[in-house]
Chains A and B, each alone.
Chain A
Amino acid sequence: MNSDRALIEKQVHHYLLQNLMFTDDESQLSVEVSLLDEGIIDSTGVLEVVMFLEEQFGVQVRDDQMLPENFDSVKAITDFVGRLQSSS
């Protein structure tokens, strides 16, 4: 894992723990667990995540990228941000 990716993953992980799970305990969220299946992201929570990504990483999320596979885990979100950054 390169250092940029590790940093993004850490920030995403931290954001989800703090803002959607209301805890500091990192063990409560593994990077591969399904955020949708576990109910960690609710039906409007994904909008909060998008706002965070756009503000934190300076990316733009298009409507056609609002797909479950881009938001379903810390790992998926991290990969998605990486793709957005490399394509910009």
Chain B
Amino acid sequence: MCGIAGFVGASMNEGDAHAALNRMLASLRHRGPDGQGTQVDRDCGLGHVRLAIVDPEGGHQPMDNGHGTVWVSFNGEIYNHIELRCMLESHGHRFRTRSDTEVICHLYEHCGDRFVEHLNGQFALALRDSRRQRLVLARDRVGIRPLFHADHAGALWFASEPAALLTVLPGLRRIDLRALAQTFTMWSSLAPRSIFAGMHSLPPGHCLAIEADGQRTLSRYWRWESPEQPTPRPFARFEEASAHLRTLLDNAVRLRLRADVPVAAYLSGGLDSSVIAALIRSQDSAPLRTYSIAFEDAEFDESVFQTRMVRHLGTRHTTVTCTRRSIGDAFPQLIAHVQAPILRTAPAPLMLLARRVHADGFKVALTGEGADEVLGGYDLFKEAKVRRFCARQPESSWRRDLYARLYGYLEHSPTAHPALAQAFFDAGKADSDKPWYAHLPRWKTSSRAMGFLSADLRQALSSFDPAEELAPQLPGGIARWSPLARDQYVEAATLLPGYLLAAQGDRAAMAHSVEGRFPFLDHHLIEFANRLPDHWKIRGLTEKAILRHAVADLLPSSIARRTKQPYRSPDSSSFFVEGKPMDYVAELLSPQRLREAGYFDPDKVARLMAKCRTGNARGFGDNQAFTGIVSTMLLDHIHVRDRYGGEGKT
């Protein structure tokens, strides 16, 4: 895992070029503390900071193909690099190192731009073809590793994180209001839009080629796709499909254990991470090191289940217990790394966990991320199933009663009263044909944060629908996909790359130089799961039914049968100590600072702060709005005004 940065099309002398690359790399140092390199070829520069995981001695980057004609700067892992190397060697390619980076160089020579289709991994990379004087940027299929780019004076600049681009292009230090509106609705901006005006995120599954004459081609090489209905099933029997899923999972874990450093695993206490840890134990006789987050708040804590799994697997385990105070204290550092507003504090405990993992000497951790998107685990999917079921017979009271079976883990369940639940979930019933029908109640709750924007911003955004940029990105045939497949697609196109793999994934872990690996996001597994019928994923209201069946022999029954409890952490209460806002919160949310920044209505924010301070903000809407306001003001302070003191910039 590493950080990359660079440019193409910039006219600079070589000294200035290396200096610009080094400025960007300095802000990415936390991603790669083990080494740094730059390479300049005419108008193109590549930079790299390295977290050495595969071939620690031979993997220095940027790396060339042995002839200086193809150079690669690469962040991530290519899990099938051994198989690709064998294939390339059989075609006469010769290698100097054991690294996966060198495989990319040769694969490009062998296949041209289609090289990326052969990669199984998580990556963001820049490849320079010196002979043709072109640059290719590529990002993995689902967006595990980040890649941002921006134009300036005819040149294209790119980097793993926005902050690196801000060091060389200070003109980008402006918030994109439409991105803010998208974040305050869908939890993140929608690629290619980023939170900084004029800066773009390369969408997952895409390549961007920049030719010698400056011509650019953005192309998609992979898409999260499901078959149109009706469709023949890939397997006649559930048991057969379940066995195949197990094989794919075994393989995905086996590939992700490839490393020249020890590998740890996260254990949340839920099904997904337990499956991964159990599969590691079944494949590797070495002692397994596991890590968990615990909370002092019982509502969020899953320690009981974590302990059960630790005993079952016999792992050497460490728990990091998070308090509201520790979350609030860590939040400025988190936003320094996330470099975007967020509506939840949940990435903060994961950053604190990564700090401990790093301190223990680990660079890699496998997690259960992705299982809910791939195999239908989210409450939102079940909620949508009940909503669609109720919509068929709106007068049926027993159908309505199904709402009460959702969200049982919440202290204040929105579905405790079925009649009210139906009214809430009727949000967007006029849009029942829209692919984002399932997401409308969540988006409606989140968008309460928009009500706190200043009058100027609300006016500027009055005609902007945050979802409007999603529509043209949808696959043409999505209306003919099954309902669950549509819901999964929207989740995989919005929350997964925009928030879960970014703020809560890459940024939280890389803040402390830890690489997350996610077997459930192996593209072979995704492609298989997307061909399964809905009811093999959600059977009745049991989520991930086929996964539970496939791994039943690996887990204690209390874990295998456990209903999903989404990972959450205390939100607005984390920003107050003994009824008073933390110092930075009081300062950033003071009327003067709010007026100066201009994003929010100071009077409304003061009222919301009073509500949160007195512990009366119980709903998701208020909590998300408050977290969104604090994080936006921190973003403004740290990255727009460049006023950060430095404790968070590791």
Interface flag for B620 (CB, 8 Å)? yes
Residues of B within 8 A of A47 (CB): 412, 618-619
- Cα(A66)–Cα(B423), bound, Å: 11
Q: Which residues of A contact B621 (CB under 8 A)?
A: 42, 44-45
Taking the closest CB of chain A, its distance from the CB of B159, in whole angstroms, is 38
CA distance A32 to B423 in the complex (A): 17
Contact between B604 and A67, CB atoms less than 8 A apart = no
| Contact assessment for A36 and B618 in the assembled complex, using a CB-CB cutoff below 8 Å | no
Check A39 against B447 for contact (C-beta < 8 Å). Answer: yes
* B residues in contact with A48, CB < 8 Å: 616, 618-619
- Which of the candidate stretches B24-32, B414-422, B499-507, B523-531 sits at the interface with the other chain? B414-422
A36 CB contacts on chain B under 8 angstroms: 423-424, 426
Chain A interface SS verdict (over half): loop
CB neighbors of A among B427-462 (8 A): 427, 441, 444-445, 447-448, 451-452
Q: Does A72 contact B (CB under 8 A)?
A: yes
Q: Whole-angstrom distance from the CB of A12 to the nearest CB of chain B?
A: 17
Cα distance A18–B611 in the bound complex, in angstroms:
10
Q: Given that A47-B412, A48-B616 are known contacts, is A39 also in contact with B448, CB under 8 Å in the complex?
A: yes
Q: When the two chains form their complex, are residues B452 and A42 in contact, meaning their CB atoms are under 8 A apart? A: no
Chain A 44-56 against B: per-residue CB contact (8 Å), 1 yes, 0 no?
Answer: 1111100000000
Task: List chain B residues, Cβ under 8 A from A22.
Answer: 451-452, 603-604, 607-608, 611
Across the interface, which residues of B come within 8 angstroms of A19, CB to CB?
Answer: 611, 616
Find out whether the CB atom of B619 lies under 8 angstroms from the CB atom of A43: yes
CB distance from A7 to the nearest CB of B (A): 23
Give CA–CA (A48, B419) in the complex, Å: 17
A19 to B621, CA, bound (A): 12
Considering only CB atoms, which chain A residue lies closest to B618 in the complex?
A44
- Decide: A39 and B608 in contact? CB cutoff 8 A: no
* Chain A proximity mask over B330-359: 1 for CB below 8 Å, otherwise 0: 000000000000000000000000000000
Cα distance A66–B419 when bound, in Å? Answer: 7
- Taking a contact as CB atoms under 8 Å apart, the answer to whether A44 and B448 are in contact is no
Is B417 touching A44 in the complex (CB atoms < 8 A)?
A: no
- Which residue among A43, A66, A71 has the maximum number of chain B CB atoms within 10 Å of its CB? A43
Q: Is A84's CB within 8 Å of the partner chain B? A: no
Scan B14-58; emit 1 where CB is below 8 A from any A CB, else 0. 000000000000000000000000000000000000000000000
Query: B422 contacts which chain A residues (CB < 8 A)?
Result: 68
A67 with B618: in contact, given A42-B448, A43-B441 (CB under 8 Å)? no
- Given that A39-B427, A39-B444 are contacting pairs, would A68 and B618 also be in contact in the complex, using a CB cutoff of 8 Å? no
Question: Which residues of the partner chain B approach A46 to less than 8 Å between Cβ atoms?
Answer: 420
Q: Which residue of A lies closest to B447 (CB)?
A: A39
Complex CA gap A38/B253 in Å reads 47
Q: In chain A, residues 38-88, which have Cβ atoms closer than 8 Å to a Cβ of chain B?
A: 39, 42-48, 63, 66-68, 71-72
Report the contact-size class of chain B (Cβ under 8 Å from the partner). 20 to 34
Chain B residues numbered 493-532 whose CB sits less than 8 Å from any CB in chain A: none
Contacts A22-B604, A44-B619, A72-B423 given; does A66 touch B417 at CB 8 Å: yes
Cβ < 8 Å to A, chain B residues 574-627: 603-604, 607-608, 611, 616, 618-621
- Residues of the A chain whose Cβ atoms lie less than 8 Å from the Cβ of B424: 36, 42-43
- CB contacts (< 8 Å) of A6 on chain B: these are none
A23 CB-CB contact with B under 8 Å: yes
Using A36-B424, A66-B420 as known contacts, say yes or no to A44 and B604 having CB atoms under 8 A apart: no
The answer to whether A44 touches B412, judged by C-beta atoms less than 8 angstroms apart, is yes
Could you tell me the distance between the alpha carbons of A44 and B604 in the complex, rounded to whole angstroms?
20
Residues of chain A within 8 A (CB-CB) of B604 are 22-23
Quote the shortest CB–CB distance from B409 to chain A (angstroms): 14
* A53–B90 CA distance with the chains assembled, in angstroms: 77
State A6–B85 Cα separation when bound (angstroms): 80
* Distance between B438 CB and nearest chain A CB, rounded to angstroms: 15
Q: Closest chain A residue to B611 by CB distance?
A: A19
A72–B611 Cα distance when bound, in Å, is: 22
CB-CB under 8 A from B603, the residues of chain A are 22-23
Contacts A18-B607, A47-B412; is A71 near B420 (CB within 8 Å)?
yes
A43 contacts B616, C-beta separation under 8 Å:
no
In angstroms, Cα B421 to Cα A33, docked, is 19
> CA of A1 to CA of B597 in the docked complex: distance in angstroms?
46
A44 and B414 form a contact (CB under 8 A): yes
Whether B420 lies near A68 (C-beta < 8 A) is yes
Among the interface residues B416, B417, B448, B603, which one has the most CB atoms of the partner chain A within 10 A?
B417
* Neighbouring B residues of A42 by C-beta, 8 Å: 414, 424, 444-445, 448, 619-621
| Nearest B-chain residue to A34, judged by Cβ | B423
How far does the alpha carbon of A80 sit from the alpha carbon of B554 in the complex, in Å?
A: 54
- Which residue in chain A gives the minimum CB-CB distance to B606? A22
Q: How far is the CA of A42 from the CA of B617 in the complex (A)?
A: 12
Complex Cα gap A47–B412 (Å): 8
Point out the residues of chain B lying under 8 angstroms from A63, CB to CB.
417
For A43, list chain B residues within 8 Å (CB). 414-415, 421, 424, 441, 445, 619-620
Q: Are A68 and B619 in contact (CB under 8 A)?
A: no
Chain B residue contacts of A45, Cβ below 8 A: 619, 621
What residues on A are CB-neighbors of B412 within 8 Å?
44, 47
Determine whether the beta carbon of A44 is less than 8 Å from that of B620. yes
Quote the shortest CB–CB distance from B80 to chain A (angstroms).
44
> A67: nearest residue on chain B (CB-CB)?
B419
A22 to chain B, nearest CB (A): 4
Closest to B619 in A: A44
Give bound CA distance, A52 to B417, whole Å.
Answer: 18
13 A-B pairs with C-beta separation under 8 A: A21-B451, A22-B452, A22-B603, A22-B604, A36-B424, A42-B424, A43-B421, A44-B618, A44-B619, A47-B618, A48-B619, A66-B416, A66-B417
Using A39-B448, A42-B619, A66-B419 as known contacts, list a sample of 15 further A-B pairs with CB atoms less than 8 Å apart, ordered by residue number in A: A19-B611, A21-B451, A22-B451, A22-B607, A36-B424, A43-B415, A43-B619, A44-B414, A46-B420, A47-B619, A48-B619, A67-B417, A68-B419, A68-B422, A68-B423
